[in-house]
Amino acid sequence: MHRAALQDVMLPNGLHIQKGDRVFVDIPHMRDPNIYESPDTFDMYRFLRMRSNPDLAIKAPLVNTSAEHLAFGHGAQACPGRFFAAILSKVVLSHLLLKYDWKIAPGSETESLAIGLTKRINPKLRLLFRRRNEEFKLQ
């Protein structure tokens, strides 16, 4: 995510941004090992553990913003739709997990790819899924 400065700006740290300069969100900062332990390793309990630590709990919920995690922006420019996006993501994920069995196809390449400033799912990764007999019905 990048923007062009509409006017000259002097930041509190003395950095001068001139009109027309391009500014970018510090994406690598969200994978900083000083902030997140083993940031490049998938850890499904990472944010659950953060919630149990009083010093980190405020940063754990998906909808909260901070300078360390800018997925939804921060401050006055934080995404107003982040609450809806978080709820919808949970609903969709719940349906996918409850209604389907999933596995990685044999021979798939599972290693993530570093593209620019971000990591991406390998396009050669193949998933197999099948509809399961549901234990209860979701509408």
Q: Which positions make up the binding site for heme?
A: 79
CB 102 within 8 A of CB 129: yes
Neighbouring C-beta atoms of residue 107, cutoff 10 Å: 7
CA 62, CA 44: separation in Å to the nearest integer? 13
Region for 136 from its dihedrals, namely left if φ exceeds 0, alpha if ψ lies in -120 to 50, beta otherwise: beta
Helix residue ranges, H only, the chain: 46-52, 82-99
The closest of 89, 33, 32, 42 to 61, measured between CA atoms, is: 89
Question: For the chain, how big is the Rg over CA atoms in Å?
Answer: 19
Residues of the binding site? 79
